[in-house]
Each structure stands twice: as structure tokens, then as C-alpha cells.
Chain A
Amino acid sequence: MPELMQFLLSGVTVGAVYALVALGFTIIYNASDVVNFAQGEFVMLGGMITVFAFDAGLQLPLAALIAIALTAAIGVALNKLAIEPARGAPVVSLIIITIGASIFIRGVTQLVFDKQLHRFPAFTGDEPIRILAATILPQSLWVIAGAVVVFVALWLFFTRTLTGKAVLATSNNRLAAQLVGINTKWVMTLSFALSAAIGALAGVLVTPITLTSYDLGIALALKGFAAAMLGGMGNPKGALVGGLLLGLFEALTAGFISSQYKDAVAFIVILAVLFAMPQGLFGRNTVNRV
């Protein structure tokens, strides 16, 4: 069935986009238990800054690098100016802060840049690649590769490095983390820088496919959030698998059932999964003895 193959390729393409966004959530979440609703804006910034740097005549790789660095800096600023001062606030307050931040970033972007749609050329052309009677754009392969690389890097970071453990310790028990000598402020700074950089990288990779504009962040953040929860928040494996699954559900539903209700079906599947596994597919099962 060539259709099925095409649906799968589409699902993987979209899924990889979601996975990249979801992976961006993991670090900040792991450091602070906060789902950063401004993550979508990092993706948007990655795309927008690259577009404008590229249009200003820079080489694409250089433009992308600048975008990632700038976005990371913005992430750090967000932490220093908004998250760090609110330390100890309840999680809902932190959610509102990140939503506020996302509105703010959107507002500034629209002033600094514009409200138009933009894109820059795909890295390796637009000639579709044929796989078993179906096709995929080369840029999709870049996105998929990006998701896999980020996943592996994060997985190694959290399982193999002491810094990764320090990040986990910080969210698990901030007081105790300080007692063992972890500079929790620095951990937070690092986490925001990394998360923002991953977001920006996602933006750079996906813009040739999805296009970008100042208000692209909300939709991506929502889907990325859903994907991350499906997989289990905080686990890079969950983000990758959750993203890919979500993309596949959508594509298969659009292909076989109804394109109108593809998002609905995707959400129903998420609800069903959470019903059976309240922590998502790979979520950590927190043990809290009483």
C-alpha cells in the first residue's frame, strides 16, 4: 500500500517536529518541574532570527548559529529575570509566568520583526526522495536526524553525567541540592540555555517545512506538550516516542479516518494512554512513602 507508506512518512515528519519541541521541554522540566510554556517561542525565535539573519546576507549555517546562541541567551534572561526571582512560588504561578513570557516574547518579536510568514531554503534542496512509492522531503530527514541526535545527547546527559544528575537533583529537592554543593542557580541557567538552544535548533530545522511567523509558537508548544505528556514528562525517551507517536496518529487518522478530526483522535489516544498509564509511556513513577 503506497498510501500507508506515505502516511507513515508524513507521520514521522510531523512527529519529528513534535519530538524536537517535546525534547526542549525536558531539561527545564527536569531542573525545576516547570513546563515552560514559552518553549514554543524558542522554536519560533530560532526560525525567525535565522530568517532575518539569512535575509541580511549571512550564510545559512552562520545565521542558524546566531539564532541558536541568541535564543539561548534569551532563555537565560528569562530564567534570570522571571523564573529565578519567583523561586519557591507554586507551580501554577510558574506556569502563568511562562505563559506571560511567551506572550511577551511574541509581542516583542512582532515589533522587532514583523507579522509575515517566512521561510528559508531547505538545507539540501527540495527534490523529494522516493521510498517504496512514497516520498519524503530531504528536509524531513534533517528534522528526524535532529530529533534523534538531540535525544541521544540528552539521554547521555541525564544518565551518564554528574551535571545531568545535578539537574535532576535540583528539581527533586532544591534545598538538598544546595546542601550537597550544587549551585542550583547555575543549574537553572544551564537548563534554560540548553532548552532554549534545543528549541531554537528545532526552529532552524523545521522552518523550511512549517514556515515561521511570530505566532507559530503556541501551536507547536501545545503539540509538543501533548507529545511530552504522552511519552512521560522529563524523559527524553518519552519525548521522542511521544512526538513520533503523536505525528503518526495524526497522519494515519488524516489518511484513513477523517482529516477534520485528526487532532481529536490524537487527543483521544493520549487520554486512553494516560488512563492506563497515568505517568505517560515512560514517565518516572515517583515513589513517595507515607
Chain B
Amino acid sequence: MSLLSVEGLGIAFGGLKAVDDVSFSVNPGEIVSVIGPNGAGKTTLFNMISGVYMPRSGRVRLNGEDVTGYAPHLLARRGMSRTFQNLQIFQNMTVLENAIAGFHLREKGSVFADLFGLPGSRRRSRDARTGARELLARVGLANAAELEAGSLSYGALKRLEIARALALDTKVLLLDEPAAGCNAVETEEIDHLIAEVAASGVAILLVEHDMKMVMRISNHIVVLDHGVKIAEGEPGAVSRDPNVIAAYLGTKTEEPSHAHG
């Protein structure tokens, strides 16, 4: 059974059907990419899956359980985490604290233990701190740990978000344009990170406009246009699909061809 499955999901804003009857599924260890033109409904799809928006129709199943419209923190408890296209950083905290916040589910205990600083609470904090430092090292932000999060550059914030999302005991990870704002070399680093995470058995759902990256790491690609799924399949097949080329890829003159694969 697939870990995450989406069945006939749909939502509308005003008259606009932003997402319309979209279905697909993701298995553990698999990387599924959602691509499509700007405004196709990719982020909206993410928002419905992760409980930010309430879908108007359709179902989201996590591990077989119907979790449609569950609040994000309930989904987090069930192992879903995500990053945001429009960065959502805790600006009032340090980089390290941002990462520690990712461990919330593992470190939280009773308020009383926290108020009275009981040993249990202190130990959990300590563990989270250690874990967070490791994660920061993994995304290349070890040196920035004590800085205020607000002082990072865009690309660094992007990576901080990924670190925070990884901190959860994730089973399903939703990444919304993780490589935006990163150059080709940095993108490749993120590639590796994602592949590594997937290899550990996490189901990954990825939205990304960097086709090199998408083609390189996806097992499966879903193509949206105007909220509707217009194609689906292996990277190779999708990239040759004339509909996809017309709606999304265009004729590629800008990409250095030898960088493919």
C-alpha cells in the first residue's frame, strides 16, 4: 500500500478551480515530483495535503488513514512535514533554535515539567539541540547556528527550512521548490540530500522548476496544468510528452545539454 495517496483532490478560489480532481500516490523511498506551469496548482495541492487548506473534494490518505483536512500538527504527528515556497522562518529565533523547533514532537512534554525545569524536560531539550546541530551540519549551516535567523541570505534560509522539516521523524516529506534561489552547484548538494533522505525510506513529494534536478532524482512525475493532471509517468516519458513540452517545458535552448542526467 502506498504511504501517501491523494484521491480526486479539488479546491476552488472564487470561481477558479485551482486544483481539480487530482489523484496519485507516493511509496516509501520514492521521489514523486509535481511539475507544471506557474499557477498550475502545485502549491495549492501541497497546502491541501498538508492541512493548510481544506479541500473541497477528494481524499488524502496517509498510511491508509483518511487524514483529509487534518490540522498540520496532527499530520506532523503522523509523520508528514513540509517546506514552503514562501519561506516560513521563525525570524525571532536563532538558526539553531529554528532547527530545534523541528524536533518539537520529540522534545515536547508536559508544560509543568517545562515550567519547573524538571530533568526530563532538560534532557529532551538537550537531545533536540544535539540533533539540530547535526542537521544544520548536514545542510551546511553549522557555522551559522548561533546567528539570528533573520540575518541569513535567501538560499541559506531555504536550506534551514529543509533542515527543520527533516528534524521531524518524517515518513512523508513535501518539498516546495527547495532549490529555488540556489545555483547549479548548490542545487546538486540539495539533490544529494533529498536522494539520501529518500533512500532512508521516506516518501518524498517534490515541486520544482529546475528540470535538471527533477529529471535527475524523480522516480515518478505528475504534471499539472490549470489544476488538472495532464500527464504522469517516468521522467523520460514525461519530458518527451508533447503536451508537457507545450505547456511547460518549452523548447530548451538555455540549458546546457551535457548537464542532463
Question: Which residues of A approach B to under 8 Å, CB–CB?
Answer: 288-290
Asked whether B71 is an interface residue with its Cβ less than 8 Å from the other chain, the reply is: no
List, in ascending order, chain A residues with CB within 8 A of B52's CB: 290
From A287, which residue of chain B is reached at the shortest CB distance?
A: B13
- Complex: A271 Cα to B84 Cα, angstroms: 33
Given contacts A290-B43, A290-B86, A290-B88, 8 further A-B contacts (CB under 8 A): A288-B86, A289-B43, A289-B85, A289-B86, A290-B47, A290-B52, A290-B84, A290-B85
List, in ascending order, chain B residues with CB within 8 A of A290's CB: 43, 47, 52, 84-86, 88
CB distance from B111 to the nearest CB of A (A): 24
List, in ascending order, chain B residues with CB within 8 A of A289's CB: 43, 85-86
The 7 closest A-B pairs by CB, nearest first: A290-B84, A290-B86, A289-B86, A290-B88, A290-B52, A290-B47, A289-B43
Chain A interface mostly: loop
List, in ascending order, chain A residues with CB within 8 A of B86's CB: 288-290
List, in ascending order, chain B residues with CB within 8 A of A288's CB: 86
CB distance from A65 to the nearest CB of B (A): 47
CB distance from A260 to the nearest CB of B (A): 39
CB distance from A45 to the nearest CB of B (A): 37
CB distance from B75 to the nearest CB of A (A): 15
CB distance from A288 to the nearest CB of B (A): 8
Chain B interface mostly: loop
List, in ascending order, chain A residues with CB within 8 A of B85's CB: 289-290
CB distance from B19 to the nearest CB of A (A): 14
**What sequence of 0s and 1s flags, for each residue 84-121 of chain B, a beta carbon within 8 Å of any chain A beta carbon?**
11101000000000000000000000000000000000
- Complex: A85 Cα to B47 Cα, angstroms: 40
From B88, which residue of chain A is reached at the shortest CB distance?
A: A290
List, in ascending order, chain A residues with CB within 8 A of B43's CB: 289-290
11 example contacts (A-B, Cβ-Cβ < 8 A) are as follows A288-B86, A289-B43, A289-B85, A289-B86, A290-B43, A290-B47, A290-B52, A290-B84, A290-B85, A290-B86, A290-B88
- Complex: A289 Cα to B85 Cα, angstroms: 9
- Complex: A288 Cα to B84 Cα, angstroms: 12
List, in ascending order, chain A residues with CB within 8 A of B88's CB: 290
From A90, which residue of chain B is reached at the shortest CB distance?
A: B92
From A288, which residue of chain B is reached at the shortest CB distance?
A: B86
- Complex: A290 Cα to B89 Cα, angstroms: 11
List, in ascending order, chain A residues with CB within 8 A of B47's CB: 290
From B52, which residue of chain A is reached at the shortest CB distance?
A: A290
- Complex: A290 Cα to B47 Cα, angstroms: 8
From B44, which residue of chain A is reached at the shortest CB distance?
A: A289
CB distance from A262 to the nearest CB of B (A): 39
- Complex: A182 Cα to B54 Cα, angstroms: 38
CB distance from B11 to the nearest CB of A (A): 13
CB distance from B160 to the nearest CB of A (A): 16
From A289, which residue of chain B is reached at the shortest CB distance?
A: B86
CB distance from A266 to the nearest CB of B (A): 33
**Residues 205-259 of B at the A interface (beta carbon under 8 Å):** none
- Complex: A67 Cα to B88 Cα, angstroms: 47
From A290, which residue of chain B is reached at the shortest CB distance?
A: B84
- Complex: A8 Cα to B43 Cα, angstroms: 50
- Complex: A128 Cα to B84 Cα, angstroms: 63
**What sequence of 0s and 1s flags, for each residue 70-88 of chain B, a beta carbon within 8 Å of any chain A beta carbon?**
0000000000000011101
CB distance from A72 to the nearest CB of B (A): 36
From B47, which residue of chain A is reached at the shortest CB distance?
A: A290
**Residues 26-56 of B at the A interface (beta carbon under 8 Å):** 43, 47, 52
List, in ascending order, chain A residues with CB within 8 A of B84's CB: 290
CB distance from A88 to the nearest CB of B (A): 12
- Complex: A244 Cα to B43 Cα, angstroms: 42
CB distance from B157 to the nearest CB of A (A): 14
From B92, which residue of chain A is reached at the shortest CB distance?
A: A90
- Complex: A289 Cα to B87 Cα, angstroms: 10
CB distance from B76 to the nearest CB of A (A): 15
- Complex: A289 Cα to B84 Cα, angstroms: 9
- Complex: A288 Cα to B86 Cα, angstroms: 9
- Complex: A289 Cα to B52 Cα, angstroms: 10
